[in-house]
Amino acid sequence: MPHYRYHKKSIPSYLQELYAGGLKKSQFLTEGQIERILSHIGIFRFKGYLYAFRPHICNHSVDDVLIIYYFDKFLTRFVMEHTSTIETILKTRLVELCYIKTDNPFFYLMDEYHKYDGFRINKPSLDNWMNRPYHRNNKPETYLHYALYYQTKYRFDNNHTYYLSGKTLIELCEDVNYPPFHYFVESATLGVVIHLIKSIKIGNYDLLWAIGKSFGIKNPKTFKPYLERLNEVRNRAAHRERLFNRSFRSVAGVNRHFHTLRQNINNHRFTDVYLYLFFMLGRLSNYRDYDSFRMMEIEPLFNEFQNDRMIAQECFGLNKRMGRELKEFLLKNIGA
């Protein structure tokens, strides 16, 4: 297998290479504006969007490639909004359901409450809870972050003695002021929250089953991919990875209405992900069929995109200046 060879390219030379290969020049932007946009996007990321037009690149222009990049960026906002709301729901249910079964706020540090041997909390999740010197002479924040508030009030050695004495614990890190469970969950990333949901079992009470049931999914083996898809989609959006024209982890339909709405949609495409997010939010019952979902939720995205002020500032108004002929192309490539 040959080794990788890096070919250094400048933005102007890369554009000239594309034009020589058949990509048409912009109808709306100057070369200087295109070069400035690419200096923000980067050649590598731009190539990911260019791929959607191959092998018929001669039928398209650089405008077409840029518009799907910005449409993808626009979609990212909706994904972040929906996944953040679902994350909040998961955190709330995780804390509430655990405290129904235990009144020990430090139970999550005990080995007996985890299904799998060797459960660990990753170090980045503990960063907020590292012991730090507190100086009363420092000017305090007007509104303390709850982690700072906790650090000034409590120390783990006292809580360890009161709540965890004589218990077998998971692997702990030194110099960490471990907080109560609800504090820790509130500060945790989505990935860590999902890790806790998969692991925690209080007696015979399996949190994966309990939280899945609260979403209408009774089989934990079915619910687990739902959590994994959520984490995958959230991570792609958070790191501004491409959502457009990509495949996503699939999940099984769990009720007749959800199954009916998605039966004619490729379950690896973005439109199926969008339906899934509405299912997790408990909103799918608002739509009688897929056509109504598309009309009320999918198609308006295109209109809002064309009128988006922030996007227009970044792309020199390209979203406003291009015609609506790309609407069907964009909808088709998200699987709508």
Query: Is residue 53 a contact partner of residue 69, using CB atoms and an 8 Å limit?
Result: no
User: Does residue 108 have a pLDDT over 80?
Assistant: yes
Kindly state whether residues 208 and 322 are assigned to the same domain. no
- Asked whether residue 6 is assigned to any structural domain, the reply reads no
- Segment 280-309 shows an average pLDDT of 91
Same structural domain, 207 and 162: yes
Is residue 175 helix, strand or coil?
Answer: coil
Residue 227 lies in a domain: no
Shared domain check, 260 and 177: no
Report the largest interatomic distance among the alpha carbons of the chain, rounded to a whole angstrom: 73
* In a domain? residue 4: no
pLDDT tens digits, 183-197: 999 999 999 999 999
* Domain annotation covers residue 159: yes
Per-residue model confidence (pLDDT) at position 5 = 79
Same domain membership, residue 98 and residue 149:
yes
Q: How far apart are CA 228 and CA 237, in angstroms?
A: 14
pLDDT of residue 91: 97
Query: At residue 123, does pLDDT exceed 60?
Result: yes
Q: How many domains does the chain have?
A: 3
State the chain's mean pLDDT as an integer.
Answer: 90
CA gap 130, 193 in Å, rounded: 19
Measure the CA–CA gap between 132 and 117, rounded to whole angstroms: 31
My answer on whether 55 and 75 are in the same domain is: no
Question: How far is Cα 275 from Cα 53, in angstroms, rounded to an integer?
Answer: 26
Specify if 224 maps to a domain.
no
192 and 160 within one domain: yes
Domain termination site, one of 173, 198, 214? 214
**Residue pointed to by tokens 């000239």:** 16
Residues 75 and 49 in one domain: no
**Is 99 found in the same domain as 175?**
yes
Q: Do residue 267 and residue 178 come from a single domain?
A: no
Residues 178-201: b if buried by 16+ CB within 10 A, e if exposed: bbbbbbbbbbbbbbbbbbbbbbbb
Predicted local confidence at residue 143, as pLDDT: 53
The answer to whether residues 99 and 19 belong to one domain is no
Residue type, 309: R
Which residue range is the domain that position 17 belongs to?
Answer: 11-64
Q: Model confidence over 30-45: pLDDT tens digits?
A: 999 999 999 999 999 9
Look at residue 133 and tell me whether its pLDDT is greater than 70.
no
In the predicted model, what is the mean pLDDT of residues 213-239? 95
70: closest CA among 290, 289, 236, 318?
Answer: 318
Is pLDDT at 323 greater than 80 in this prediction? no
For residues 304-333, give the mean pLDDT: 84
| DSSP code, position 16 | H
Is residue 200 located within the same domain as residue 263?
no
Examine residue 229 and state whether it is found in any structural domain, yes or no: no
- Are 184 and 295 contained in the same domain? no
Residue at 226 is within a domain: no
User: Residue 11 pLDDT more than 80?
Assistant: yes
CA distance linking residue 239 with residue 63, whole number of Å: 24
The letter for the amino acid at 105 is P
Lowest pLDDT segment from 92-106, 128-142, 279-293: 128-142
Q: Is 5 contained in some domain?
A: no
